Amino acid sequence: MNNFPFLRLPDEPQQEVFKTVDILELISFSLVSKKSKTIAKSQNRQITFAEITVSQYICLEVQDYTNDDGMVADFYEKEEAYDDYDDIFDENFDGQVEDYEGPVALTKPESASASSGFEEDDYTWTKPEFELHDWINHILTVLHHQKVDVIFRNNYTRFDVNSVFEALSKAMPIKSLVMYNIGRITREIAHQVLDVFHSTDSLDLCKKPYQDSISNRKVLMRNYNEIIINEVITCDDLLSINSFNIHLAGISNYSEKFFNRFLKFWILGSNPRMQHLLIQDLSQNNAIEDNETFLNAEDILEGIHYTEVSRNRRKVFDDRNLLVKGGYDIMRFDGTVATLTVEEYQIGGCKIDLFVWP
Amino acid sequence: MSVENAPVVDVDEAAIPVEKKMYYRFESNDKKEFRVSELAIQQSETLNRLVEAMGYTSEDVENKPAIAIENIDGKTLKLVFQWCEHHKGEAIPVDDGSVPKIVEIPEFDAKLMDIDNGLLFKLIWAADYLNIVQLLNVSCKKVANMAQGKTPAQLRRVYLLPSDEEDEAAKRAAQEAQDPRAREVEEEFEERKRQGGNSFF
């Protein structure tokens, strides 16, 4: 007897069987029938994130960091396709892709190539009636996840951007739009993507998408919940950002003068929607060797009325439960209080936070 | 002081606790009898409650008929009690509801469950009925392992899962087998629902 009468088991053992399987097997099981989907969904399996990467093919990745479990499903994969993942950090990559056939409109995927991402366990799933959004909705519904991040990793896609947007719009709402390596092939696609995917919760930019500052400002001025920029921006750029949470990362070399100017404008009323500014400046790695000092909070606050607070004062910031220890309280013209903290990283570099209290 | 000169102490033998192993007798539905230790029985919430409620003494166990377990056969019950005896005294895991559940199959259990799927099915059914938490965990894990590396089409065959079309056909057949009047009422109800009516009456 090589088969097992699963559905003849009582309800509890039926549930128990799929409590122990990996996400990949759970989804594979859920694709068998409506009944198996219901059983899989009732497991109440949760994931940390879901992201869709659009490049030469379209990839849905889900991860459960708590349990070190996850899966990747690739659609429209071509065996001979150039794998642009390998070249994300290759500065010499000229972005030329042989036999580029794009942009092409999305059609029904013939199949999905799925794997756990950790082992050599590739599955080919076929579901002839499924459009791309059906695949995404099916997987994310079983995993009780309501939103996805969309990543244009290499600013390259053989798919028509409007067609991708149309398909993803029928799937789960897009939480975050991530655009890496803008400019590697052409900025044209980046512009299209920003035009078409205009109402996401957050935007993560590796580089400024436009070469002229006016066009860039138009993007920065959008009302995102969070904007992440991994490239040096000017103080004027920062002043034009309209997002609740602003995260500037990477090697940025911001000076005390930069922050001082920004804070003075904030006190006068600029960036009224801003709730949290986080700057992770890794550019000071050499400071230890050069015996230079890190950014100094008191220099940042020169000419600004502030109150230094003991590190014993601990306040929890918003629903992310960020613990703010001490810092420097400053006040905007309308009485709104913000706390500035400057923290050195042991490996070099520093982290600057400005928490605006509600 | 020599042994001969040591003071003699009277010992009340009745006061010394004697470890007395208590066994119970169970009978399967095909009249196979098993003697199972009290400690092993504790792995089964159902049997443990049953023997507690019966309040048998050792004499009762010998003099009264074996406790009948009417819906489990001897072959399955033998596996169940072998498992319980091997794991007697072990803590019973508490399910905190978190998923995925991490379950390892120990070597003994793996050997015990080196059986055909028909018997495995009966073992799971028995573990569920007798409420033996860890036996249910490992036996279900064995069934879960059958899914490893399988496509949906392969899973359909392994787990004997009907397709949506087969499910629909079975549902229709069940409806047709219903009492004709009940079917008429159901159809009328569906029709009214389609027409947007809020109440059947």
Local structure of residue B179 (DSSP, 8 states): -
Residues B189 and B108 in one domain: no
Q: Is residue B29 part of a domain?
A: yes
Restricting to B residues 77-116, those with a Cβ less than 8 Å away from any Cβ of A are 99-103, 116
> Do residue B176 and residue B86 come from a single domain?
no
Pair (B139, B185) in one structural domain: no
Any domain includes B201: no
Q: Is B125 found in the same domain as B35?
A: yes
Structural domain contains residue B51: yes
The residue among A221, A259, A217 whose CA lies nearest residue A243 is A221
Q: Are A157 and A100 in contact (CB under 8 A)?
A: no
Contact B84, B34 (CB under 8 A): no
- The predicted model gives A332-337 an average pLDDT of 95
Tell whether the model's pLDDT for residue A188 goes beyond 90: no
Binary contact (B157, A3; C-beta < 8 A): yes
Q: Same domain for B49 and B136?
A: yes
- Nearest-angstrom CA–CA distance, A185 and B139: 55
Domain of residue B72, CATH code: 3.30.710.10
- Please report the ipTM that was assigned to this predicted complex: 0.79
Determine the length of chain B: 201
Contact (CB<8Å) B156/A22: no
Q: Are residues B108 and B184 in the same domain?
A: no
Q: Are residues B174 and B140 in the same domain?
A: no
Provide the mean pLDDT of chain B: 86
Residues B108 and B29 in one domain: yes
**Which of B99, B125, B151 faces A44 most closely, judged by CB atoms?**
B99
Closest Cβ opposite residue B128 in set A10, A28, A124:
A10
Identify whether residues B138 and B172 lie together within a single domain: no
In a domain, B162, yes or no: no
- Confirm or reject contact between A111 and chain B (CB < 8 A): no
pLDDT for A243 = 95
In a domain? residue B7: no
Q: Residues A215, A190: contact at Cβ < 8 Å? A: no
- Ramachandran region, residue A191 (left: φ > 0; alpha: ψ -120 to 50; beta: rest): alpha
Q: What is the per-residue pLDDT across A47-93, written as a single tens digit (0 to 9) for each?
A: 999 999 988 889 999 999 999 999 999 999 876 555 544 454 455 55
Amino acid at A220: L
B163–A36 CB contact, under 8 Å: no
| CB of B23 closer than 8 Å to CB of B35 | yes
Alpha carbon of B101: minimum distance to chain A alpha carbons (Å) = 5
- What is residue A292's predicted lDDT score, i.e. its pLDDT? 54
**Which residue blocks in A98-234 are alpha helix, DSSP H?**
132-142, 161-169, 187-196, 213-220
Whether residue A17 contacts residue B73, with contact meaning beta carbons closer than 8 Å, is answered with no
Q: Which residues of B touch A121 (CB under 8 A)?
A: 149
Phi, psi torsion values for B100, nearest 5 degrees: -70, 155
A272-310 confidence digits (pLDDT tens): 999 999 998 766 544 444 545 567 888 999 999 999 999
Residues B64 and B124 in one domain: yes
- What's the confidence (pLDDT) of residue B149? 87
Relative to beta strand A123-125, strand B33-37 is unpaired
Quote the minimal CA–CA distance from A109 to chain B in Å. 17
Taking an 8 Å cut-off on Cβ atoms, the answer to whether B152 and A5 are in contact is: no
In chain B, how many domains are there? 2
Q: Which residue from B127, B144, B149 is facing A18, i.e. has the nearest CB?
A: B144
Chain B residues with CB-CB distance to A19 below 8 A: 99-101, 140
**Cis ω for the linkage preceding A103 (within 30 of 0):** yes
**Domain containing B34: what range?**
21-90+101-145
Average pLDDT over residues A219-248: 93
Q: φ and ψ at A192, to 5 degrees?
A: -60, -45
Would you state the pLDDT for residue A154?
A: 65
Residue A285 tokens read as 């790695």
User: Are B140 and B186 contained in the same domain?
Assistant: no
The CA-atom distances, in angstroms, between B41 and each of A340, B107, B119 are 64, 21, 21
The confidence score (pLDDT) of residue A181 equals: 62
- List phi, psi (to 5°) of B145: -65, -20
| Domain presence at residue B189 | yes
Asked whether residue B6 is domain-assigned, the answer is no
Best to test chain A binding among B113, B133, B150, B151 (most A CBs inside 10 Å)? B151
Same domain for B81 and B175, yes or no, is no
DSSP codes joined into one string, A273-311: T--EEEEEE-GGGGGTTTT-----HHHHTTTS-EEEEEE
Counting other chains too, the contacts that A335-341 makes at CB distance below 8 Å and 24 or more residues apart are A338/A266, A339/A309, A339/A315, A340/A263, A340/A297, A340/A300, A340/A301, A340/A306, A341/A297
Q: Is B151 on the interface with A (CB under 8 A)?
A: yes
- The pLDDT value recorded for residue A99 is 61
pLDDT per residue over B157-184, tens digit each?
A: 999 999 999 989 988 888 778 766 766 7
Residue B137 domain flag: yes
Tokens of B138: 């490992």
List of chain B residues whose C-beta atoms are within 8 Å of the C-beta of residue A135: none
